[in-house]
Amino acid sequence: LRIGADQYTGQKVVDQQFHKCDFSGADLTGTEFINCSFYDADSRAGCRFNGATLKEASFRSCDISMCHFNFIKALGLEISECRAQGADFSNASFMNQITTRSGFCSAFIKKSNLRYANFSRVTLEKCELWENRWDGANVSGASFAGSDLSGGQFEGIDWNSANFTDCDLTNSELGELDLRRTNLRGATLDVQQV
């Protein structure tokens, strides 16, 4: 089911089921989704948001598992207390590009299940990314520099494939992290993690 470009722009959407829906290219600026499901358990398929604008949008207590968020424009996106297993955020932009050499990121992804999610080639620098389950997530070519990743679970993460410098990793389960081989310059760790 194709969703209209401005069908949900800026709206508050509560307790809705979206199965096999295509939000690709839709303008979801400022849209709030609360307690909604975008995952069809029978077909094990999520909805498509490819190229959608999700600026200042939010997903709270939603199931966005297996959804496709490739190439979304998502400055200020909030994902809170969501199920997002296997969601694909590859090439998503959480950045406000001021010039070719400068810009800033804004995202709030917290208390969510991101197991096996794809964050390849995503820049999430200086963002609020705490208390998430990142187990088995693909972080190849991603940058989390300066972000708050505290309270996270990181089993099966390839620490050397992404930038974790200056991150807050306190109270986190760091899985197979080898401090001798991973550049964690400026990162904050607990004593027992070291």
> Which pLDDT value is given to residue 100?
67
* Bridge partners for 85 per DSSP: none
> Which pLDDT value is given to residue 191?
78
Res 17 pLDDT > 90 = yes
Domains of the chain: 1-114 (2.160.20.80), 119-193 (2.160.20.80)
> Which pLDDT value is given to residue 80?
99
Mean pLDDT of the 103-119 span = 96
Q: What angle do CA 190, 126, 33 make, to 5 degrees?
A: 105
Percent of residues, the chain, with pLDDT higher than 90: 90
> Which pLDDT value is given to residue 97?
74
> Which pLDDT value is given to residue 148?
98
> Which pLDDT value is given to residue 114?
98
Can you list the alpha helix ranges (DSSP code H) found in the chain? none
Average pLDDT, the chain: 95
Res 194 pLDDT > 70 = no
Check: CB of residue 119 under 8 Å from CB of residue 94.
no
d(CA 40, CA 32): 20
- Given its phi and psi angles, is residue 56 left (phi above 0), alpha (psi -120 to 50 degrees) or beta? left
pLDDT greater at residue 97 or residue 29: 29
| Per-residue pLDDT reduced to its tens digit, 45-70 | 999 999 999 999 999 999 999 999 99
Least confident of 28-32, 98-102, 112-116: 98-102
Residue with tokens 């080639």, as numbered in its chain: 121
Mean pLDDT of the 162-174 span = 97
| Per-residue pLDDT reduced to its tens digit, 80-93 | 999 999 999 999 99
Chain centroid to CA 24: 17
